[in-house]
Structure 1
């Protein structure tokens, strides 16, 4: 009996005093905005040095400390830019304790423990920053560029990926530019989300999406001035923003000038082809110059009623002028006939594009929201192309294009947030109408044609987590149509399926499948035609259809304090892939866009980012892939391997910085061509004095930008070229920028969709 009573007493003692209890809650700021990655530390009351339990809040600001013994504790919560909150707490049961952090504008808060700085979700990784990173960054863009696989490409002065994948920048869900990022001070960035599989509405727009979430931004006046003077190009931009109450006005202007240098790019090439029973060879040496300018100016008005609605209207205009002048010396052979010739090609384009963008979103009760976006653009284009060759069978050909393209994009989204998941439904329509007036060698009279394309897209998407498992299921359909002539009407099921598992805080794996479609550019389907060499016409193709990509992937991610890496295996299959094709015409060769029979791309990629010390960052990307291409049923498929490699180094000391990037050459399969990878190489030195930044760049300091292209054996035309982009060799550029801003704090419009038509309606001379 005594033994039984003792056991019962011990059992009750364990229940009452040795329970594994849970302390959880949410961290928010004074505006009730969640604070992700806040540092959570639990101490014994009599020992405030050794942490009993430590964690970091998730993307919703929520935290959970488990397996806690009953007792008295001190709970400390800290985050950069906020005052540390210390709270005595008695734990004898499971407790929910929410914490509100107050802004500290005078100093950065002390970090109690080194919390987790990234969270891996099914389609994105979210990051926050250390005090050291924020202190060293000149502005928001400079801070974002410290993240894995990102850097500031000095050749374009833009935020880019190391592995060369396309990128879309969002600020609080709104499509933004590098100038917008430079207007934000580093300490105003709350966290950054990098999508390596973009949200479904962006799946056709970019391969990576970077969304920057900010703390309340400064009101009053803020602005940015930037200028670059270089041998290859010159840039200038100006942005000015003013906020009063809930209203915000922004004016921006930018220009990019490609300089016309006396140094010409060089191209050596060889053609070999047959028409009927005649054999032709065409050897040439070409010198070319490209130059021009682009200007853009925009005005934006927005009103933000926090937790109620957002409204934004944006009016902007883009103008561009581009010029290409090329001269060729040619050795032409037809059977046994040989002749030396002189060739000339001039292509001048002008374009003006006014655009109106209207956005509205409304927060509804019970975690619901709706958003609408309407974008209208008008493209007014003019293009003059002159192609000529001397000789007994030479030619002199002109093409004149004047077109007006009208675009209307409309989108509506409904969203509902659950505790650990998110549900959304959306519909987007993209309507294009082109009126094209063409004069070319096929007709001396001005020919008119109308091209009407539509793209309708409807989808539903749910994503979330179940403990360590992650998922995303997107079901959507595309209806792509070309309504004129004998156009196409294609419906394509385009789902996205993703499943992942967080092995621990540092390791995760994912399986992905996604599907999308791509429409041809409108002038790729037009009557445009120009004689580019003897018996060779570059033309449009009335029979083009949209392409359909299906992609499978397996990825592994590792995130440590100073090391991050990702390894990816992929398999891409594209139906009706769009490619530059050669076709037989009537006693001639037609160079036009076609739809391929088979296009498969499979392989792997490895990305590395390592910071051995706070002042040094090194890394790079290496890929190994096989491409299998079959242009048509009549010919066999062709297989080719490629090995793209990029390396970079970034270092800083006090006010000085150094950036080095080298993209190694190689080749990859692009349709009928084994295409050389255009190299990127530069050294950039920077110096910061107060809020003024100076930069000096040298492009291609050690190597020359040379590469080759060659057609595959299955092409009816053999073509090999050797390029030397000579104007880039040892080119120098000097840049200076100044950021300014002052005022009170104010949040910005939380726009969660962005639309713009990237098809400019011009015929791309190649």
Structure 2
């Protein structure tokens, strides 16, 4: 027995000695907030010089040390601005060890942390900020805008990308507005995740996602007011937030007014087309004015139990009123007949959209969580359009639309976190019901049409790291339906595969493949119809199908202390691409949305961000790509090269700041048109006193917003037009903003869904 017992003990000892164990935990500060990028090192108790294992905490402060033998060790955690902690530990099995770092008093005045401030993952880059950066930013949005490829666009007063790609803002995972971001103090920003390839749940909604993670927000009041008075537009917004206990209340109001200026935009163009044996030439000069307003008001209530559940209910309403007046002088020719004409177009739209958004998220045991989101919107729209022309064969045509559109979006997500990977499984249903009461040239009496569409979207996604390798694999299925006569029922697989390699801390490579689908706007599939010229109608198209987009890419990223560069090569193919189409009708020409046979885009792009000195930041983007387009199998394909360029400069001195932005780059191919890029150009000067900022902007100070459009040879209608948006030339605006906050610390809700219907249900007059 004694011998057997001895053998068993020796065997257990051998197993323990050969066993590879894991130490994991979270590094937090004295406010119980995770510390990202903290250094963690493991030493043997008998040798405190040689590191056995070392690592860096992630954005949440979590760390993991693997493949460790049993024994006695010293675990050391450190981060600049905090006192280093050394803990003696004894390991005879897997161990969870959390560590608290206290602020080092000698760093309380100011901490300037050099070195690694970002972590590159397969689809995003995560950033933290120095205390010096935080100190110089007057609010959270201004701090976020210092990241590569981001800035505050003074023409829209919105956080935007320098290369013009669409963006979604999330705060702790919840869809947020610029006003939400402005009421967060800069020192409450913990870190930022900047996705250049959005997660699957956002893949159809935007090209970039910015997720801002905050520290515990303050109990009490916080808010922001902003006003812009300008020649081209005026803005005003108010955001108020109050936190008490586990409850948070937020109110916001915003308005945007497009001013009606006496200066008219100028369009010079020509149409040339043929119907049967008749040739038509239509030369015109069009002067137009557009103006109107949008108002939005909302209220949000949220309740959050840290590490337990989050509940939020949001109610808001948007209203808009837009007007377009255009007058034409026309030189009309039909065969040998010539005539001078006067034309006019008036378009007036009204819309009111109430929305209710309910969100619930629950954290479950063993690194599991579930999320549920339900969003309902009701669109009540009215549109009056009148088009007329004088002359012997002139016309007088009207279109009246009254419609109601109901939208319901529901989403369910299950998440599980492994030690080195994240798994997400989700489903989203999007249901649209449009009732359209329409009067136009098809019938003098109003008639009703109903258009119902549904989208079912299910996906699974896993992402993680294997030492220097990164990966993300997703599989989604879309079931898109249009339920009316001549509708469609389309199943589409939308996989995504991404693989990356971290060459070192500064360099990484990625290859990507992703796909998604796009549904037409509902009124693009309707009987809407307006006469815009003789025998020439803008209409809807009941035979439209959804489009399917696929993209392949190779990306290189470089992140240095004062310089970053992102370069990419891409090949995009869209099946059934949606585009503006000319086709023959019953003794007329129809202008409507169609599905293309071929739509290819391939080329390269690079973005740079350079901070040579602390007070100066220079950013820019340049692309070079070819587009190949074929409208139908009966028509030839056409190719064209584009070279878009954007340049940004920001500098400050004490309380003064200056921002300069310029977007240019000629033309690009959009369906049947070689289309000019609508330029952006401004200089903005700001002065900040405490939390009040005064700004002066001048738009298009050096150049004029001019561009041209021209149809490609495959089009049955030749159309060339030159635009000069004169209302933008040398337009000035004065802005005033004020931020305030007070109170005690309290954690904020973390939502990870974003659902909203952006199809307003209005007919877009072109």
TM over 0.5: yes
Is 1:174 aligned with 2:177?
Answer: no
Distance (whole Å) between structure 1 residues aligned to residue 489 and residue 72 of structure 2: 69
Name whichever of 21-30 and 676-685 sits farther off.
21-30
TM-superposed deviation, 1:90: 6.3
Distance (whole Å) between structure 2 residues aligned to residue 619 and residue 224 of structure 1: 28
Task: From the superposition, tell whether residues 113 and 582 of structure 1 become closer, same or farther in structure 2 (CA, over 3 Å).
Answer: closer
Match of 2:552 in 1: 552
Distance (whole Å) between structure 2 residues aligned to residue 630 and residue 649 of structure 1: 39
Task: From the superposition, tell whether residues 165 and 121 of structure 1 become closer, same or farther in structure 2 (CA, over 3 Å).
Answer: same
What are the superposed Cα offsets for residues 573-604 of structure 1, whole Å, 9 maximum, x if unpaired? 00000000001001110000000000000000
Distance (whole Å) between structure 2 residues aligned to residue 508 and residue 543 of structure 1: 45
Q: Output aligned runs, 1:337-486, within 5 Å.
A: 337-486=337-486
User: Is the 1:41–1:113 contact (alpha carbons within 8 Å) kept by the matching residues of 2?
Assistant: no
Match of 1:749 in 2: 749
Task: From the superposition, tell whether residues 473 and 456 of structure 1 become closer, same or farther in structure 2 (CA, over 3 Å).
Answer: same
Match of 1:86 in 2: 84
Is 1:615 aligned with 2:615?
Answer: yes
Name whichever of 90-99 and 240-249 sits farther off.
90-99
Q: Output aligned runs, 1:319-338, within 5 Å.
A: 319-338=319-338
User: Is the 2:75–2:89 contact (alpha carbons within 8 Å) kept by the matching residues of 1?
Assistant: no
Distance (whole Å) between structure 2 residues aligned to residue 461 and residue 629 of structure 1: 33
Match of 1:17 in 2: none
Distance (whole Å) between structure 2 residues aligned to residue 429 and residue 66 of structure 1: 41
User: Is the 1:657–1:686 contact (alpha carbons within 8 Å) kept by the matching residues of 2?
Assistant: yes
Distance (whole Å) between structure 2 residues aligned to residue 108 and residue 673 of structure 1: 60
What's the C-alpha RMSD, in Å, of the aligned pairs?
2.7
Distance (whole Å) between structure 2 residues aligned to residue 686 and residue 42 of structure 1: 49
TM-superposed deviation, 1:66: 11
Match of 1:201 in 2: 201
Q: Which runs of 5+ in 1 are unaligned?
A: 1-20
| SS state at 2:155 partner | coil
TM-superposed deviation, 1:63: 4.6
Is 1:727 aligned with 2:727?
Answer: yes
Distance (whole Å) between structure 2 residues aligned to residue 650 and residue 638 of structure 1: 40
Distance (whole Å) between structure 2 residues aligned to residue 44 and residue 201 of structure 1: 45
Instruction: Name the TM-score, length of structure 1 as normaliser.
Output: 0.93
Match of 1:700 in 2: 700
Q: Output aligned runs, 1:125-274, within 5 Å.
A: 125-274=125-274
User: Is the 2:401–2:438 contact (alpha carbons within 8 Å) kept by the matching residues of 1?
Assistant: yes
User: Is the 1:234–1:256 contact (alpha carbons within 8 Å) kept by the matching residues of 2?
Assistant: yes
Q: Output aligned runs, 1:286-297, within 5 Å.
A: 286-297=286-297
Distance (whole Å) between structure 1 residues aligned to residue 199 and residue 627 of structure 2: 27
Distance (whole Å) between structure 1 residues aligned to residue 477 and residue 33 of structure 2: 35
TM-superposed deviation, 1:59: 2.6
TM-superposed deviation, 1:188: 0.6
User: Is the 1:515–1:550 contact (alpha carbons within 8 Å) kept by the matching residues of 2?
Assistant: yes
Match of 2:10 in 1: none
What are the superposed Cα offsets for residues 59-110 of structure 1, whole Å, 9 maximum, x if unpaired? 3424579999x9998946236xxx6122245699999864223579997576
Match of 1:570 in 2: 570
User: Is the 1:39–1:114 contact (alpha carbons within 8 Å) kept by the matching residues of 2?
Assistant: no
| SS state at 1:494 partner | strand
| SS state at 2:84 partner | strand
TM-superposed deviation, 1:42: 9.8
User: Is the 1:555–1:568 contact (alpha carbons within 8 Å) kept by the matching residues of 2?
Assistant: yes
Distance (whole Å) between structure 1 residues aligned to residue 398 and residue 345 of structure 2: 10
Match of 1:9 in 2: none
Task: From the superposition, tell whether residues 22 and 650 of structure 1 become closer, same or farther in structure 2 (CA, over 3 Å).
Answer: farther
User: Is the 2:83–2:103 contact (alpha carbons within 8 Å) kept by the matching residues of 1?
Assistant: no
Name whichever of 100-109 and 390-399 sits farther off.
100-109
Distance (whole Å) between structure 2 residues aligned to residue 467 and residue 98 of structure 1: 23
| SS state at 2:561 partner | coil
Task: From the superposition, tell whether residues 363 and 55 of structure 1 become closer, same or farther in structure 2 (CA, over 3 Å).
Answer: closer
Match of 1:38 in 2: 38
Distance (whole Å) between structure 2 residues aligned to residue 316 and residue 106 of structure 1: 47
Distance (whole Å) between structure 1 residues aligned to residue 466 and residue 406 of structure 2: 46
Match of 1:14 in 2: none
TM-superposed deviation, 1:690: 1.0
User: Is the 1:41–1:112 contact (alpha carbons within 8 Å) kept by the matching residues of 2?
Assistant: no
Q: Which runs of 5+ in 2 are unaligned?
A: 1-20
Task: From the superposition, tell whether residues 111 and 62 of structure 1 become closer, same or farther in structure 2 (CA, over 3 Å).
Answer: farther
TM-superposed deviation, 1:58: 2.1
TM-superposed deviation, 1:27: 1.4
Distance (whole Å) between structure 1 residues aligned to residue 686 and residue 55 of structure 2: 37
Distance (whole Å) between structure 2 residues aligned to residue 479 and residue 108 of structure 1: 56
What are the superposed Cα offsets for residues 356-405 of structure 1, whole Å, 9 maximum, x if unpaired? 10001111111111010000000000000000000001100000000000
User: Is the 2:310–2:750 contact (alpha carbons within 8 Å) kept by the matching residues of 1?
Assistant: yes
Match of 1:717 in 2: 717
Match of 1:527 in 2: 527
Is 1:77 aligned with 2:78?
Answer: yes
Distance (whole Å) between structure 2 residues aligned to residue 106 and residue 263 of structure 1: 60
What are the superposed Cα offsets for residues 451-491 of structure 1, whole Å, 9 maximum, x if unpaired? 00000000111111111111111111000000011200000
Distance (whole Å) between structure 1 residues aligned to residue 310 and residue 113 of structure 2: 37
Distance (whole Å) between structure 1 residues aligned to residue 412 and residue 65 of structure 2: 40
Distance (whole Å) between structure 2 residues aligned to residue 65 and residue 205 of structure 1: 38
Distance (whole Å) between structure 2 residues aligned to residue 399 and residue 690 of structure 1: 53
Match of 1:496 in 2: 496
User: Is the 1:429–1:454 contact (alpha carbons within 8 Å) kept by the matching residues of 2?
Assistant: yes
Distance (whole Å) between structure 2 residues aligned to residue 478 and residue 735 of structure 1: 45
Match of 1:12 in 2: none
Distance (whole Å) between structure 2 residues aligned to residue 43 and residue 705 of structure 1: 64
What are the superposed Cα offsets for residues 653-676 of structure 1, whole Å, 9 maximum, x if unpaired? 111111001112310000000000
Distance (whole Å) between structure 2 residues aligned to residue 32 and residue 184 of structure 1: 19
What are the superposed Cα offsets for residues 281-340 of structure 1, whole Å, 9 maximum, x if unpaired? 100000000000000000111100111111101110000000000000000000111000
TM-superposed deviation, 1:37: 2.3
Q: How many aligned positions are there?
A: 742
| SS state at 2:551 partner | strand
Match of 1:283 in 2: 283
TM-superposed deviation, 1:25: 5.4
